[in-house]
Amino acid sequence: MLHLRGAIQHYAWGDRYALPELLEVTADGRPWAEIWFGTHPRGQAHVDDSLHHPAPTYLVDEVGELPFIVKLLAAAQPLSLQTHPSTPQAAAGFAREERAGVPLDAASRIYPDERAKPEMIVALSVFEALCGFVDAESAIRACEQAGANELADRVRRDGVAAAAEAVVRSEAFGEVVTPSSAMRQLSEHYDDPRAIVALLMHHVRLQPGEALFLDAGMVHTYLHGVALEVQGSSDNVVRAAFTEKHIDVDEFLNIASLTSVTDPRVLPSVVRGDSSWQSYAYRCAAPFTVMRHDINGGFTLQTSAQHTVLVCTSGRAGSLQRGGVVYLSAGETVSLEGTATVFSVSQ
Predicted confidence (pLDDT) per residue in 13-45, tens digit: 999 999 999 999 999 999 999 999 999 999 999
**pLDDT interval class at 50 (50, 70, 90):** low
Q: Give per-residue pLDDT as tens, 176-205.
A: 999 999 999 999 999 999 999 999 999 999
Share of the chain above pLDDT 70, in %: 98
Report in angstroms the alpha-carbon separations of 262 from 133, 142, 201, 218, 224. 8, 16, 11, 12, 22
- What number is the average pLDDT over the span 56-68? 93
Q: Say whether 239 is catalytic.
A: yes
Looking at residue 53, its pLDDT comes to 60
- What number is the average pLDDT over the span 72-78? 98
**CA neighbours within 13 Å on the CB side: how many for 262?**
1
C-alpha–C-alpha distance, residues 48 and 320, integer Å: 13
275 exposure class (CB count in 10 Å sphere: 0-12, 13-18, 19+): exposed
The answer to whether residue 321 scores a pLDDT higher than 80 is yes
Q: Which H/E stretch holds residue 183?
A: helix 181-189
- What number is the average pLDDT over the span 120-145? 98
The answer to whether residue 232 scores a pLDDT higher than 90 is yes
**pLDDT interval class at 48 (50, 70, 90):** confident
Q: What are phi and psi of 5, to 5 degrees?
A: -115, 125
Share of the chain above pLDDT 90, in %: 95
* Rg, C-alpha atoms of the chain: 21
Give the bridge partners for 257, in sequence order: 218
The answer to whether residue 328 scores a pLDDT higher than 70 is yes
- Of 239, 272, 283, 322, the catalytic one is 239
Neighbours of 145 (CB within 10 A): 13
The answer to whether residue 88 scores a pLDDT higher than 70 is yes
Q: Which domains does the chain have, with CATH numbers?
A: 77-129+205-266 (2.60.120.10), 269-346 (2.60.120.10)
The answer to whether residue 49 scores a pLDDT higher than 80 is no
pTM above 0.85, yes or no: yes
Looking at residue 209, its pLDDT comes to 97
The answer to whether residue 278 scores a pLDDT higher than 60 is yes
- What number is the average pLDDT over the span 59-67? 95
